[in-house]
Amino acid sequence: MIYVHVPFCKQFCSYCDFYSEIATEGCFKAYADGICAEIRKRAKEMDDDPRTLYFGGGTPSVLPLSVLTRILLTLDEVGHGGPYREFTMEVNPEDIVEKGRNYVESLLALGVNRLSIGVQSFDDAMLGWMNRRHDAARAKEAFRLAREAGAENISLDLIFGISHLTDEVWADTIDQAVALGPEHISCYQLSVEGESTLADLVAEGRYREADENLCRRQYDMLCHKLAAAGYRHYEISNFAKEGFEAVHNGGYWARRPYVGIGPGAHSFRGNTRSWNSRDLRRWTATTETLSAEDSLIETIMLSLRTDKGVDAAFLHGNCSKEDIGRLMETGALVREGDRYRIPEDHFFVSDEIIRELI
């Protein structure tokens, strides 16, 4: 599993705290030089099973195709090129519309077989508050262009749990997403991140976080509507049509090894985690070794985020039988065969359930 971080945006969303800088033509060569050098240096760390490649950001769709091509050729050079089982590219709707159908065709020709489109909302007022570059009409146009270009695996990102997001607007956003027919939908509750514009708004008293009742209500709406539309709720924030579950992200939840390339990227192998500094000019890595307890907690936490849950023998060997029994009595935990899982109607409070176990 390989992740490439693209730390460029044309403007910053109000809620985002991921490492990113304003994209300029002059920064792309230095970035490509650094990425290719890191790929060559870390080639032996890269695993072939499952073969997934994920370009995230930032906004990967601001990259010139020449830079993307150079990175892919370097992966070929070190023996980790395509075709990949899953090659995901995060894209901004506005970039798709501005660059056109030919741009998407070029991505597909380079081996991209999954597009993750950052729609977030189909309401123009909400998109304006988020400081997104696109409006609802352009989001739909981007999806249409991607389909016409031949994209057969498209994921849409949506955000809920905003204090001034009404249930009516949220329901309409879900309905419009479903009407497009994407293979995958990821939905995230808005969170206030440390260095985001939103955090500043909260500190200044200009935004109040949504209360838990609103967030729970909107999450339940999401679950019911997507279930009715035929999507499998396979992870707390992710829904897919059968056979279109995200392979790369599934590797994260299963704690498979992955190599993160680029400034701000994270990597994981065995009991070792590392992350690159947020420095576009010269990024360096910091490494930590996880304790046995850390690894145990991660295994339980990540497994119980999914509808497959956690191995029963593993849970019995590491958690109190009394805690397990109590959670089963309240319906917060169910056993199916040799696994325990959190049922969908308790996904919203999964953090509290997991805390009781660990």
- CATH number of residue 158's parent domain: 3.80.30.20
Neighbours of 225 (CB within 10 A): 17
301 shares a domain with 248:
no
pLDDT single digits (tens) 228-249: 999 999 999 999 999 999 999 9
* Whole-prediction pTM: 0.94
150 shares a domain with 66:
yes
219 shares a domain with 99:
yes
pLDDT at 60 over 90: yes
Looking at the domain assignment, is residue 174 inside a domain? yes
Mean pLDDT calculated for residue range 7-36: 82
Nearest CA among 264, 248, 237 for reference residue 159: 237
pLDDT value, residue 22: 77
d(CA 45, CA 294) in angstroms, rounded, equals 22
pLDDT single digits (tens) 139-178: 999 999 999 999 999 999 999 999 999 999 999 999 999 9
pLDDT value, residue 48: 64
Looking at the domain assignment, is residue 264 inside a domain? no
- The rounded percent of the chain whose pLDDT value lies above 70 is 98
pLDDT single digits (tens) 287-337: 999 999 999 999 999 999 999 999 999 999 999 999 999 999 999 999 999
What is the extent of the structural domain holding 205? 2-253
Residue 299 CA to its chain's centroid (Å): 19
pLDDT value, residue 207: 86
112 shares a domain with 224:
yes
Neighbours of 254 (CB within 10 A): 13
pLDDT value, residue 328: 96
The number of distinct structural domains making up the chain is 2
How is residue 22 annotated by DSSP?
A: E
326 shares a domain with 202:
no
How is residue 63 annotated by DSSP?
A: S
Nearest CA among 117, 174, 123 for reference residue 144: 117
